[in-house]
Amino acid sequence: MLFMCKMNSLFVPALSNFPSFSKQIPPSYLPFSEYPFCTSSSLKNSHFLHLKPLSSFACSMSTSSKVSAPRMEVSRLPSGEIHVIIGPMFAGKTTALLRRIQSESNNGRSVAIIKSNKDTRYELDSIVTHDGAKLSCWALPDLSSFREKIGVDVYDKLDVIGIDEAQFFEDLYGFCCKAADHDGKTVIVAGLDGDYMRRSFGSVLDIIPLADSVTKLTARCEFCGKRAFFTLRKTEQTQTELIGGPDVYMPVCRLHYFNGQAVIEAARIVLESQSIKRDSYLEASPLSN
């Protein structure tokens, strides 16, 4: 089930409309025999081990032996997942995220999508692909505010969380850790791996070691039509974060990442010289007096 964001113009379906809300997620118990770490006699007698969320990966187990072994605390929820989708602009990252979220929702799982509120290109409260496909989302300045914004009860019952424009979230690593490791969520992350200078962008590459799967998508080079792995910026701005679409960026192959920059620079020089000639012509023209 898809949780619509709280949009002024759209009705947000009442939570009771979502059958999944009638389903309580039972606290998950792990039969002792399947629990990999507990060896102490005091635990062997317990048929079920009530598992509590990890506090700080501290391990402690009550034992009958005189030397107390560290106490093990493990998450009480099924283990989550993290799937990362990266690539240059126009590679189909948002399209892939949207399709995966739709598929999870069609399978009856409760889903929600978050994107950075810095992305104002198309619609603020939707993720929108360059083809115009879209889904409602929560447009937020950071990920840590999500649980409070959506409501703790609703968050606890979410199965899948999609994140788009992940390069803009500074708290991406911590959020993914907690959501997947502690809260048992399936987190699907879409974002740029590199900026226009091919440098690591935001924290996207930091979560690769946390991931169950990593998919790097490619676009088509705007110069030669071959696979594009990088994003070229057409304008002269040099700040890392610059929101824009095909007006500012183009996907390119390795060859045209370098040649393309030379072509764009040459075009810029030609255009500037033409505008200078035009201006000087207009100034000299009798019509200009």
Ligand X SMILES: Nc1ncnc2c1ncn2[C@@H]1O[C@H](COP(=O)(O)OP(=O)(O)O)[C@@H](O)[C@H]1O
Catalytic positions are: 165
One-letter amino acid identity for 148? E
**What residues contact 209, with CB distance under 8 A and at least 6 apart?**
none
Work out which of 177, 210, 214, 224 binds Zn ion, going by CB under 5 A.
224
CB atoms within 10 A of CB 130: 16
From residue 201 to residue 240, the character string flagging contacts with ligand LXEULUCI as x (rule: CB under 6 A) and all else as - is ------------------------------x--------x
From residue 154 to residue 193, the character string flagging contacts with Zn ion as x (rule: CB under 5 A) and all else as - is ----------------------------------------
Give me the numbers of helices (H) and strands (E) for the chain, helices first please.
6, 14
Work out which of 135, 143, 221, 232 binds Zn ion, going by CB under 5 A.
221
Site for ligand X in 206-235 (CB under 6 A): 219-220, 222
| Binding partner selected for residue 92 from Zn ion, ligand LXEULUCI, ligand X, none, CB under the kind-specific 5 to 8 Å limit | ligand X
Site for Zn ion in 233-272 (CB under 5 A): 253, 256
Q: How is residue 9 written in tokens?
A: 């113009």
From residue 58 to residue 87, the character string flagging contacts with ligand X as x (rule: CB under 6 A) and all else as - is -----------------------------x
Element (H, E) at 59: none
DSSP tag of 282:
H
39 vs 51: CA distance, rounded Å: 15
Site for ligand LXEULUCI in 143-182 (CB under 6 A): 165
Task: Select from 136, 156, 154 the least CA-distant residue to 12.
Answer: 136
Task: Select from 265, 82, 33 the least CA-distant residue to 180.
Answer: 82
Work out which of 1, 5, 84, 91 binds ligand X, going by CB under 6 A.
91
Q: Using the rule CB under 6 A, is 241 a contact of ligand LXEULUCI? A: yes
**What is the Cα Rg of the chain in Å?**
25
Task: Select from 162, 217, 166 the least CA-distant residue to 191.
Answer: 166
Q: Toward ligand X, which CB reaches closer, 111 or 150?
A: 111
Q: Find the length of the chain.
A: 289
Site residues (CB under 6 A) for ligand X?
Answer: 87, 89-95, 129-131, 219-220, 222, 251
